Amino acid sequence: MKSLLLAAVVAVSSPLNPEALQAAIADLDHPAATSAQLRVSGSAGRWYGAEGVADLGTHRRIRPDDRFRIGSVTKVFVATVVLQLVDERKVDLGTPVQHYLPGLLPPKLEPVTVGQLLDHTSGIPFEVGFPDLSTPDKVVAHRYDRWTPEQRVRLVPDTTAKFPPGTRQEYRGINYVLAAMLIEKITGHTYGHEVETRILCPLRLTRTYVPALNETRIRGAHVHGYLEVPGRGRVDVSDYNTSISYGEGDMISTTGDLTRFMTALFDGDLLPPDLLATMFTVPRVSMVDGSPARHAAGLQTATINGVELWGKTGEQYGYNAGMFSTRDQQRRMAYSFTPTVSDSTQQQMTLRIADAVTR
């Protein structure tokens, strides 16, 4: 064990390779993408690079403070606020969410604790009645649909859990829709207000925000996202209503703001040690496919080139983003790219970035 840990430290402490980092984001054909940017920081070195353009119409180059949709990285902000409420003794991780939100979930569903929402061990069954977004043209057709979180939760069928809560892990967005609703019930404010007052303002994350339910445009200078639609070419989908992803994937940020948030979070500026530890504690269960669990409260973990990373990935149509760091913050990374096809080929860019950062 000692030799393995030493190998990981040596790997992450090695100097950054600017050529390898630029090469990781330079290939905009694999996957098909219109732009990519990467920010690396930490005690082992700093680097920033970008490829492609922020806007195909104007051919404007990407600027470091350009906003983009961060998708499921939103969950880290939500988990942080919930854990702050736990610290304030307003929420208990072991108490069923049904206690705080009575009558919201179907009556046949077993009690699901707040902690099981945060680490995706709730077993809540898949929602029934989602709009069909299986093809790019259908995505574009539904781009302005407006959802409330209550409408989303009403799609949960009145059945028992997929597995006894706490016994398996299955990554589910509905867990964080409920977590956001919990924040609102306890505080009397929108989850966006709580994220702003508890995290964004104190850390001066001025380029990050939670959009309103009816807000479709990204505020200020931003990177445009596109989808390749048969017969129409690349369609700009940066103007999009993400309310269906309320609390689980609707926030907007920059690589700089994500880096500052991650730094403060890992430094313990936002949570006391015992609650911060829950974000780095993966439950001792298996994923539903039998693989080891990899999600904690808000964060996920991956080991690349022997280096253990903690953070979160995120997707929205036309966007892919992520932020990760070693626990000791020797090396951090925040990235964003704009894939034009919504499929598994997006992993090619993510894996190249992770390899270059940890090599």
Catalytic member of 3, 13, 35, 72: 72
Contact in structure between 165 and 110 (CB atoms under 8 Å): yes
Residue 355 carries which side chain, given as an amino acid letter?
D
User: What was the pLDDT predicted at 15?
Assistant: 87
3-state secondary structure at position 67: strand
Residue 286 among the catalytic residues: no
| Stated pTM of the model | 0.95
Question: pLDDT by residue (tens digit) across 64-107?
Answer: 999 999 999 999 999 999 999 999 999 999 999 999 999 999 99
Domain ranges for the chain, please list them.
Answer: 2-358
Question: pLDDT by residue (tens digit) across 259-305?
Answer: 999 999 999 999 999 999 999 999 999 999 999 999 999 999 999 99
Question: pLDDT by residue (tens digit) across 96-154?
Answer: 999 999 999 999 999 999 999 999 999 999 999 999 999 999 999 999 999 999 999 99
**What value does the mean pLDDT take over residues 210-219?**
97
User: What was the pLDDT predicted at 261?
Assistant: 98
Q: Give the architecture (CATH level 2) of 2-358.
A: 3-Layer(aba) Sandwich (3.40)
Residue 238: name the closest of 248, 223, 253, 221 by CA.
223
Residue 243: name the closest of 173, 309, 115, 152 by CA.
152
User: What was the pLDDT predicted at 21?
Assistant: 98
Residue corresponding to tokens 């207000």: 193
Q: Tell me the pLDDT band of 3, cut-offs 50, 70 and 90.
A: very low
